[in-house]
Amino acid sequence: MDAADEGDVLVSARIAKREQIMMAAVQKRAYPVVLIADNGFPEIFHPSEEKQTLCASGRLLLLTPWKYHYRKADEGITVAECKTMNCITQAVCRLRDDWWK
């Protein structure tokens, strides 16, 4: 939160529960964020009114490397997908491989 307070844009795959909570808090304060989505966007994609407003005001960017596919409600994402999302986050932030150590 301190980084966002100082003007940094937070980039997240929102995989872990605490990461989801933190990003929700950052968005609630109207700080800009980049979110890596775990599924692609359908051919006809219409985000929620809230997401549209955030995108239009420069406070939200949604990124995904995948094409959209139907996912059952109980179907989770795979470890490989999580690693891919984290690698995208790392690349967007231009961090070295040892950033987490």
Q: What is the mean pLDDT of each run of 10 residues along the chain (101 residues)?
A: 89 92 91 91 87 91 87 84 89 74 53
3-state secondary structure of 49: helix
Question: Which residues make Cβ contacts (< 8 Å) with residue 99, sequence separation at least 6?
Answer: 90, 93
- pLDDT at position 32 is 94
Q: Give the separation between CA 50 and CA 55, rounded to whole angstroms.
A: 9
Contact assessment for residue 65 and residue 92, using Cβ atoms and an 8 Å cutoff: no
User: In angstroms, how far is CA 18 from the centroid of its own chain?
Assistant: 13
- pLDDT at position 21 is 94
Q: Give the separation between CA 99 and CA 48, rounded to whole angstroms.
A: 33
- Round to the nearest angstrom and report the end-to-end CA distance of the chain: 20
Q: Give the separation between CA 85 and CA 16, rounded to whole angstroms.
A: 12
pTM of this structure: 0.82
